[in-house]
Structure 1
């Protein structure tokens, strides 16, 4: 019993320092250094939140670029990869349906990132090659010159890993918002 009161005091101090103090310190630092990122990277268009740079959204219209498939059906509350094995018939059917949706052929194979879900199921980026693969469909649906759509893809491509990961990627939401600003 002699150790109970000092132990409770130590627990309370540790709780205040490690949980409350540390959380406030990190939150204050993040809000002062990078408030856009600290608040979820929410993109606002005409005063309305349209999505986050960090979470994929479902686009199904031919007028838009489509993101990677999502095992979580693009629900951030259920972010998770699929637990289906590579030999799963369900996974094979889903991949076959996706390949058919893109109209892929042996002569024009679909890029792998457009068929396979990311680890968390919410990756907001696709490869530049995956975006360029969709240019003709999007341009045709919008009545826009495919070269103009390809320019949007190339202008929006980033290389986040520099020389360590040199493959460019494109944020699907930002690319689709840029498309909406283009007049046919």
Structure 2
């Protein structure tokens, strides 16, 4: 089932999520639906608040970054993302380190807006899988960035929070329009102003 994606302006995107109790939800069904929703919107990550759930869960699939654009000779695939498809249940970032590097990010909840965000190059994260096994793993590069971006959603943060003041001023009206439902997107969205 494809969920509508919650748009910028909905209070759930600014709330810190709560931890999930073992057996509380059918996490396989929720994560399958989240993957379907993410693929339908051409995303590489999706966090539970973006589909209206205040729980600590996100899904990622970095495959699009591992496929080079055949028309662009300079576009190098990131082969480390070829098998980077995961569900993170109750994730907790334990460490972030390395040099901060910039990359243009976007967000399915904020269509049509992109901006360069600087994040540390490495991350160590503790999480559970769908069978409730616990892992502590380290990621770097784009995988670490995707994790940090989605993890921010669980803390009520958005990529636009990291943009320079001037850029924030420049996109202020666009963000306001999104919150009012005045936006074109290729996927179904849910707007707080239309409730």
Judge same fold: TM > 0.5, yes or no: no
For the pair shown, the structure with the greater C-alpha radius of gyration is: 1
Tell me: higher relative CO, structure 1 or 2? Use CA pairs within 8 A at least 6 residues apart: 2
The two structures have a TM-score, normalised by structure 2, of 0.30
TM-score by length of 1: 0.31
> Which structure shows the higher helix fraction?
1
Structure 1 or 2: more strand by fraction: 2
